[in-house]
A and B are shown apart, each in its own frame.
Chain A
Amino acid sequence: MNFRLLCKMLGLIAALVGGTMAFSLPWALPILGGDWTDESRGFFGLLGAMLICFLVGALLSCLGRGPQGQLFRKEAMAVVGLTWVLATLLGALPYLFSGTQRGPGMPMSPVDAMFESQSGFSTTGATVLTELEDPSLVPRCILFWRSSTHFLGGLGIIVLFVAILGQGSAGKALMQAEMPGPSQSSQQARMQHTAWVLFFIYAGLNAFLTLLLWVQGLSVFDSLCHAFGTMATGGFSTYNASVGHFQYVPGLNGPRIEMTIVVFMVLAGTNFMLLYFVALGKLGRLWPDVEWRTYMLILAVVTLLVVGFGIHAGDFADSTGMKQATEAGPVTADSQADPIVKQSARAVRYGLFQVVSIMTTTGFCTDDFDRWNSFARGVMLLLMFIGACAGSTGGGMKVIRHILFVKILHLELEQAFHPSVVRPLRLAGEPVPEQDLRRQILVYYGLIMAICTVSWLLTITFEPDSTWAEPGQHAEHKLVDAASCVAATLNNIGPGLGVVGATKNYTNFQWYTKLLFIWLMMLGRLEIYVILVLFSPRFWRSQ
């Protein structure tokens, strides 16, 4: 292992993270609407965190002085894996230094801060903060930092790094280590150009969405934070009721804001190379892409199912939405069931939003899907494992892997009874060149299953019953809830079912369970290998 090179790279990453914190500072100032009595702690907390980032960066750069040598696959994986560990640690500092509180009288522990930081970078959107709307508990500048970790992590820290610094062939190895999925390669010969293309699309969509939200009446602060949350498929909001908050604000057109966000969530879950072609005006490239077509098809079918079963079960009978649980808006007493037309409209509006939000692994909510019928809840839980397209900012297992998995099963079945047949794996009629792909996909499925099972067992074993139910009540949904926690963190979604449902959060878990979830989020974001190899002793040996 080339530790010198490793240190130099990580030093640059530390500086990059520290530099990004600077963008959160202005939001503490009274000019931009900050209340200095609440914000000062956040402001100085951020400054302190920046200082430490630059110190760490300088220290690592010192250690990495001298001849560098070549960056090989091994170093690339180490750089990427450790980058995310380092970013998690450094990103946690502002929460700690600013004295941010989870809720009234509940200070954040270092593990809480790391959880929030990792949830941001991995674009999960799971939170331990119970009260977001009180600046005395969570300063606005910290809230902005929380959303900007989404922006950093959405495309991948390494992509930003390569876009800015290039690094030649090293950049190529790094990008491939960070985005390992079976994905279309770009047309650009140089990796820095690819990184630029990705970054410009990403930043452009962020800017465009911010503009659209701002035009629709949101404040600049809210527009930016929600754009970051959407385009990175993150899910951190600035309100307790997530995007659902806006439907109760007088003067805002709730459905229109929601649909704007739905469209951009779908875009964020699309392969960015496809978006690049669309940006060039080649709209025709979209539909022939098998992955995108399947992705849209799954979205449509699941939405139809959820809407159909939801109307049948009466999930959308009244307009409570997120109100009951969060009390975000004025509760109107209309216990009377609405006429079917109104119900259907509501079902489509809420059903579509939740399905898109879960499938793209964003995790925004406008309705508490935990209150839906069992079928819909089950579908949502399964949907968490499907994920977005490869090469997008979305997490999960990626649609392409499922497509290939089904095809591989098909081929393997044929091999079982007719071993002499030679048939290549085909995608849209074209043979897939990589011979290893079959094995890789199967191993990936196996790993996901193993990790899920073990994490689920650990969670239900060590997490006390008091987490799963109100004191004095029997924790009857423990097994399902625990499974949803694992699914929601491993697939970078955020909200799950039951105790971590759309209106709940992760604040009540024990510190060791939170550490497990941090690890799961990191595994999910980097598609397992890069994080797993960090635990292999042979990986670190010199020879």
Chain B
Amino acid sequence: MRIAVLGAGTVGTSIANRLCSEGHSVTLVDNDAGICRRVNEELDARVITGSASHATTLFQADVIGADLCLAVTGNDEANLVGAGIAKGMGARRAVARVRAPVFRDVSTFDYQRHFGIDRLLSLEHLSAMELAREIRHPGAIAVENFARGELEMQELAVSEKSAVIGIALKDLSLPSDVRIGSINRQGRMRIAGAADSVVPGDRITLIGSRDDIDEVRKLFQRELPPTRKVVIAGGGETGFQLARVLEAGRFNVVVMERNRDRCEFLASVLKYATVVHADVQRRTCLEEERVGGADVFVACTGDDEDSIMACVEARELGAVTILCIVDRPDYANVVAKLGIDHTVSPRKVIARQIVSFLNTGAVISRMPLSVDDKIDILEIEVAEGCPATQHALAVLDLPRQCLIGAVIRESYVVVPGATYRFAPGDTVVALVETGAIEQTVRMFSSSSD
């Protein structure tokens, strides 16, 4: 595939490197001639010097007709403009990296739609989500929120005392906006059908808005999980996003940050988390904040060495689970020996996202739902005149191993009911078992494809 990568920084080069090694044809764009020269020597890619937001540069980079354009410079605005222009010029898919949360917040303005970009990705947000998933449901499904973050997927185990055991799913009175995605029984995961029922010990996934899910969760799980204490070392963007996600749930969140002004900011934005002005490199600070009594310790100081050292101290003090953001691949082997339970690498996280965009036809992105790759989450564009637009959802000839989780129409996310009728331009989010992908995609592609 032909791929244009705007910005040859750490993220850009590492993605380009991976794409090159997979045999794609990559063009890199950066405005620093020195960097360009160096990258040109390192990678088997075309390198162009120029600004990512200038149409002339993009034209030179052959964006017209490219399969994918990734805007990953260090500047949010340049990324938005660059990806927007690329899409306008005719790139099939455009993805932009943004750092500030405001760009991804659709409640005030829908930047993604306005610029015609297929996805806005935030490295920090993705890392935080990965950490949050690891803290909430270790070992569970790989994707927690989709449809632009408006919907969430949560996995839960059905408890012994649940009132719904043995009742067919179609007979449960669930709120209309919650779907049961999959059932995992004795290690075998499959898409839930209307006639299925759950037995104790099943792990099911729920799809819907977080509030609705919490409501439905009570049906399957009688007892609420105990409140856990999470200490986040480092209040940078990742730490902030993580605290924001966790503080809404049953977590006692403490954020430690050494910059006073940043503390003030965090304290004003985080409603329930406790923000502490302390240096995580100092043992006394960790002791004073009772890190030893924490259930989870997360280090995301922005510096690998600092984070790792803080983790070692926390392990020494007695924290139960230790998580760490480690970006340098060199450390991958040692961290496990140091007693760190899980590391998250932002580079790997974003690479996984990028890879999901390497598709053809109607598919926008494709991500494995779980580690064993049996079920994928697909984002599919509804094409003009495709079979799916002919009838209402209930009558459509979709495979049984496919579940439509959500539809994004214009800026709104809806969970489609039986009478829902797809329209060209909709984006469908579907859970599909691997074997049925081809059949599903065919439903949404126009006949000429």
Are A420 and B268 in contact, with the CB atoms below 8 A? no
Interface positions, chain A 386-427, Cβ under 8 Å from B, are 420-424, 426
Bound together, the chains give a CA A431 to CA B275 distance in angstroms of 14
**Are A422 and B271 closer than 8 Å at their CB atoms?**
no
**In the bound complex, do residue A424 and residue B276 qualify as a contact, i.e. CB atoms below 8 Å apart?**
no
B264 within 8 A of A: yes
- In the assembled complex, B171 has its CB within 8 A of some CB on chain A: no
Given the complex of chains A and B, what is the CA–CA distance between A422 and B235 in angstroms? 12
B: which residues have CB within 8 A of A?
A: 260, 263-264, 266-268, 271, 274-278, 285, 288
List of A residues within 8 angstroms of B288 by Cβ: 420
Beta-carbon contact of A424 and B267 below 8 Å? yes
Rounded to whole angstroms, the CA-CA distance of A422 and B277 in the bound complex is 6
- Give the Cβ gap from A411 to chain B, nearest Cβ, in Å: 11
Instruction: Judge whether A420 and B277 touch: CB under 8 Å.
Output: yes
The minimal Cβ–Cβ distance linking A434 to chain B, given in whole angstroms, is: 12
Residues of B close to A429: CB separation below 8 A: 271
Interface mask (A110-138 → B, CB under 8 Å = 1, otherwise 0): 00000000000000000000000000000
User: Taking chain B's interface residues, is the majority helix, strand, or loop, or is none over half, making it mixed?
Assistant: helix
A-B contact pairs, 18 of them (CB 8 A): A420-B276, A420-B277, A420-B285, A420-B288, A421-B274, A421-B277, A422-B260, A422-B263, A422-B266, A422-B267, A422-B275, A422-B276, A423-B274, A423-B275, A424-B267, A424-B268, A426-B271, A429-B271
Would A421 and B275 count as touching, CB distance under 8 A? yes
Q: Which 9 A-B pairs have the closest CB atoms?
A: A431-B268, A422-B263, A422-B267, A422-B275, A424-B268, A420-B277, A424-B267, A420-B278, A420-B276
How many chain A residues sit at the interface, stated as a range, is under 10
Instruction: From B260, B266, B274, B285, name the one whose CB has the most chain A CB atoms within 10 angstroms.
Output: B274
| B285, closest chain A residue (CB) | A420
Complex interface: chain B residues within 8 A of A424 (CB): 264, 267-268
CB distance from B239 to the nearest CB of A (A): 14
How many angstroms between the C-alpha atoms of A423 and B264 in the bound complex? 8
Closest residue of chain A to B275 (Cβ to Cβ) is A422
Given contacts A421-B274, A424-B268, 7 further A-B contacts (CB under 8 A): A420-B278, A420-B285, A421-B277, A422-B264, A423-B274, A424-B267, A431-B268
Beta-carbon nearest neighbor of B235 in chain A: A422
Residue in A420, A422, A424, A429 with the greatest tally of chain B CB atoms within 10 Å: A422
Chain A residue numbers with a CB within 8 Å of B260 are 422
Residues of B within 8 A of A422 (CB): 260, 263-264, 266-267, 275-277
Within 8 A of B (CB), among A420-469: 420-424, 426, 429, 431
| Smallest CB separation, A449 vs chain B (Å) | 30
Chain B residues near A431 (CB, 8 Å)?
A: 267-268
Please state if A421 and B276 are interface contacts (CB–CB under 8 Å): yes
CA distance A431 to B270 in the complex (A): 10
Contact residues in A for B268 (Cβ distance below 8 Å): 424, 431
Q: B271 to chain A: which residues have CB within 8 Å?
A: 426, 429
Enumerate chain B residues within 8 angstroms of A421, measured Cβ to Cβ: 274-277
**In the complex, A426→B275 CA distance in Å?**
14
* Residues on A with beta carbons closer than 8 Å to the beta carbon of B278: 420
Point out the residues of chain B lying under 8 angstroms from A423, CB to CB: 267, 274-275
CA distance A431 to B264 in the complex (A): 10
Alpha-carbon distance between A542 and B199 when the two chains are bound, in angstroms? 85
How many Å from the CB of A388 to the closest CB on chain B?
Answer: 29
**A420–B266 alpha-carbon span in the complex (Å):** 14
Give the nearest-CB partner of A419 in chain B: B277
**Bound Cα distance A52, B15 (Å):** 86
CB proximity of A372 to chain B, nearest CB, Å: 44
How far is it, in angstroms, between the C-alpha of A405 and the C-alpha of B74 when the chains are bound?
A: 45
Quick one: closest A residue to B260, CB to CB?
A: A422
Nearest-CB distance from A430 to chain B (Å)?
9
**Minimum C-beta distance from A220 to chain B (A):** 53
Closest to A414 in B: B274
State the Cβ distance, B266 to closest chain A Cβ, in Å.
7
B35–chain A nearest beta-carbon distance, Å: 38
Docked CA distance A431–B269 (Å):
8
Per-residue B-contact encoding for A137-165, CB less than 8 Å = 1, 0 else? 00000000000000000000000000000
Contacts of B277 in A (CB 8 A): 420-422
Which of A424, A429, A431 has the most B CB atoms < 10 Å from its CB? A424
What is the bound-complex CA distance between A406 and B278, given in angstroms? 27
Q: How far is the CA of A423 from the CA of B285 in the complex (A)?
A: 18
Minimum CB–CB distance from B232 to chain A (whole Å) comes to 14
Q: Closest approach, in angstroms, between the C-beta of A426 and any C-beta of chain B? A: 8
Interface residues of A in 170-222 (CB under 8 A from B): none
How close is B99's CB to chain A, nearest CB, in angstroms? Answer: 23
A423 vs B288: C-alpha distance in the bound complex, in angstroms?
17
Q: Give the residues in chain A near B264, CB-CB below 8 Å.
A: 422, 424
> What is the distance, in angstroms, from A308's C-beta to the closest C-beta of chain B?
37
A424 and B278 CA atoms in complex are apart in Å by 16
Q: Complex: how many Å from CA A424 to CA B288?
A: 21
Instruction: Name the B residues within 8 Å of A420 (CB-CB).
Output: 276-278, 285, 288
Question: Which residue on chain A has the smallest CB distance to residue B289?
Answer: A420
Q: How far is the CB of B244 from chain A (nearest CB, A)?
A: 14
Q: Could you tell me the distance between the alpha carbons of A420 and B271 in the complex, rounded to whole angstroms?
A: 17
Q: Distance (Å) between the CB of A174 and the closest chain B CB? A: 31
Give Cα A93 to B43, complex, Å. 93
Cα A426 to Cα B267 with chains together (Å): 10
CA distance A64 to B275 in the complex (A): 55
Query: Which residue on chain B has the smallest CB distance to residue A432?
Result: B268
Q: How far is the CA of A422 from the CA of B275 in the complex (A)?
A: 5
CB distance from B263 to the nearest CB of A (A): 4
A365 CB → nearest B CB, Å: 45
A429 to B270, CA, bound (A): 10
Residue of A nearest to B279 (CB): A420
Complexed CA–CA distance, A497 and B275 (Å): 48
**Chain A residues positioned under 8 Å from B276 (CB to CB):** 420-422
Chain B's closest residue to A433 (CB) is: B268
Task: Please name all residues of chain A whose beta carbon is closer than 8 Å to the beta carbon of B266 when the two chains form the complex.
Answer: 422
Cβ-closest chain B residue relative to A423: B267
A412 CB to nearest B CB, Å: 15
- B278: nearest residue on chain A (CB-CB)? A420
A429–B268 Cα distance when bound, in Å, is 10
Kindly list chain B residues whose C-beta atoms are within 8 Å of the C-beta of A426: 271
- Tell me, rounded to whole Å, the shortest Cβ–Cβ distance linking B264 to chain A: 6
Shortest Cβ gap from B277 to chain A (Å): 5
The CA-CA distance from A424 to B263 in the complex, in Å, is 10
Q: How far is the CB of B222 from chain A (nearest CB, A)?
A: 31
CA distance A431 to B265 in the complex (A): 10
Chain A residues with CB under 8 A of B275? 421-423
Considering the chains assembled together, what is the distance between the CA atoms of A426 and B285 in angstroms? 26
A residues less than 8 Å from B285 (CB atoms):
420
In the assembled complex, the CB of B383 is this many whole angstroms from the nearest CB of chain A, namely 44
Q: How far is the CA of A423 from the CA of B271 in the complex (A)?
A: 9
Inter-chain CA distance A421–B275, complex, in Å, is 6
Name B262's closest neighbour in chain A (CB-CB): A422
- Give chain B nearest CB distance to A169 CB in angstroms: 29
Closest CB-CB distance, A161 to chain B, in whole Å?
37
